[in-house]
Amino acid sequence: MEFLKNLKMPVTPGDGGFSLGRLNWASAPVPSLEVAVLSVIAVLLMTYFASVLKKNQRSGQMRTWPLVGSVPTLAANWTGLYELITRSLEKNEVVWVDYAFGFEGLYVADPALTEFMLKTNFQNYPKGTPVQERMRELLGHGIFAADGQQWKDTRKVASLQFSSAILRDFSADVFKERSMTLVRIISKFTESKKPIDMQDLFMRLTLDATCKVGFGVELGCLTPSLPDVPFSRNFDLANELSFHRYIDPFWKLKKVLNVGSEKLLKNCVDAMDEFCYAVIKKRRLELELGQRDGSKDKPDLLSRFMSMMESPEEIYTDKALRDHVVNFIIAGRDTTAITLSWFTYMICLHPEVAEKVYEEVTELERSESSAATEEGQDSLEDQFAKFAEVLTFYSVGKLNYLHAALTETLRLFPPVPLNGKIAEKDDWLPNGVKVKKGTMLTYSSYAMGRLERLWGPDAKEYKPERWLKDGAFQPVSPFKFISFHAGSRLCLGKESAYLQMKMAAAFLIRFFKFELVPNQEIRPRVMFVLAMAEGVKVIATPR
């Protein structure tokens, strides 16, 4: 009653209640329908707020608001999203999050839980509609977004091709040739001492290599003039906008109205599709001409996809092939370029690692070279060519320390920092946590590489030696080191990625030293992959 003392109206007793002025609250007539409606609303609000309070009291629950869920928390920390999730998983075994309007998620970073969702109970954790619809425009029905029989069919064909010796040898030749082009370009920068954005160069390198190996197309992105690459720009922006849908509760409405970020996304995808369909058309015509004159199949992946089709008019329409093209680009271009970018950053911070790689590479050069070369005898171009002869599919397998340094980069900077699946049925995780049907269960590979309970007190340190024993590389469970996924969806291009990264890194460290340009901010761009927001700029000097 204390608050009534502050009112200006007199308070007088009423029959069975009290009155403010002339209105008696106990006896005032209120229509029964209004009472019913107000009661229902009150009960619903109380129930909803009780559920919100219960969620906030649940261990590991990210802060939640009515209706919009955890979106304000995620949005406020968006540029530092991966660190936010890592900090939360350092304190809690699981972290609950509400993506608004009842779409609930759960972050995990434990090998037992990743093995459960990716292997033990794999069938209950497909990509699922909520995940697929957020990446549909970008990835379509390609291997990264597909489920069920569609995923099995696509993976079966891709698996046969990645195990092909023809494709392997072709890939090695392409990777080596593109790496030589890269060092030629960097050598020009050493003369002027101009800063180099290595992420930009790596993206050009891997896009050129991916399109050559995947589609038989020469893009010419990695040339001395460094031409504008509209496809890359649209591809990256489409990736970022698609991922942003997780904190945009109104993205579906914006898509229907074709406004704002959804309109921009559509424009990006349309520009990407123009390129993809042109490649497909060109390849179809070349295959038809090849069949007429009896020429041999081309070794690129797209041509081999087409030539292996049993019912091309039913299975591999142009739209289906477009999806394969885009998925192959994100697998071959982004993941490799991103790892090489973070690797460059790491060796700049840890020059002793670069020196150990240099020693290993030069030892390989001495042991594999057919003839010794006296210092200063050959031109730089001749040195590039002779070193290229040393690098083969088999010889790079001897670079154990480089393999460890790249793997340590992947541990701390996994190309896909978050990977989500949707629970098809109610389930119980091995740690006793109940997961309801429709919940998005996401493992954070970014957090998993940084947790002390998995890697020890030096978890956040860059130490390639942790992967070596008596000089030999020692792998760990893929459910712990999960940068290449695990279980049935283990990355088919893992060995190909290592091959390309080793060739590029060996070339770079053999001929150059790198130093970071001061006062630059190195942070991830928040999207489906862990690209750098502003690249990594360095000064290169010849060795």
Q: What 3-state DSSP class applies to 244?
A: helix
491 is in an annotated binding site: yes
CA distances to 78, 156, 202, 223, 280 from 300, rounded to whole Å, are 39, 17, 21, 22, 12
Q: What 3-state DSSP class applies to 388?
A: helix
Contact 136, 101 (CB under 8 A): no
Closest C-alpha to 389, from 510, 498, 495: 510
Contact 274, 267 (CB under 8 A): no
Q: What DSSP character marks residue 334?
A: I
Q: Tokens in use for 222?
A: 């990695």
Apex 122 CA angle, 473 and 84, nearest 5: 70
* Residue 451 backbone phi and psi in degrees, to 5: -85, 130
Q: How far apart are CA 412 and CA 448, in angstroms?
A: 9
Q: How far apart are CA 521 and CA 136, in angstroms?
A: 32
Region class of 351: left (phi > 0), else alpha (psi between -120 and 50), else beta = alpha
| Element at 421 (helix H, strand E) | strand 418-422
Residues 6+ apart with CB under 8 A from 394: none
Q: Tokens in use for 268?
A: 């990006």
Nearest-10 crossing angle of helices 494-511, 351-368:
100
Residues 6+ apart with CB under 8 A from 187: 380, 511, 512, 542
Q: Please, what's the b/e burial string for 347-366 (b: 16 or more CB within 10 A of its CB; e: otherwise)?
A: bbebeebbebbbebbeebbe
Contact 505, 339 (CB under 8 A): no
Q: How far apart are CA 365 and CA 363, in angstroms?
A: 5
Q: How far apart are CA 106 and CA 416, in angstroms?
A: 17
Q: How far apart are CA 139 and CA 463, in angstroms?
A: 35
Torsion of CA 116, 120, 121, 122, to 10 degrees: 90
Contact 194, 538 (CB under 8 A): no
User: Residues marked as binding for heme?
Assistant: 491
Please state the residue numbers annotated as binding site.
491
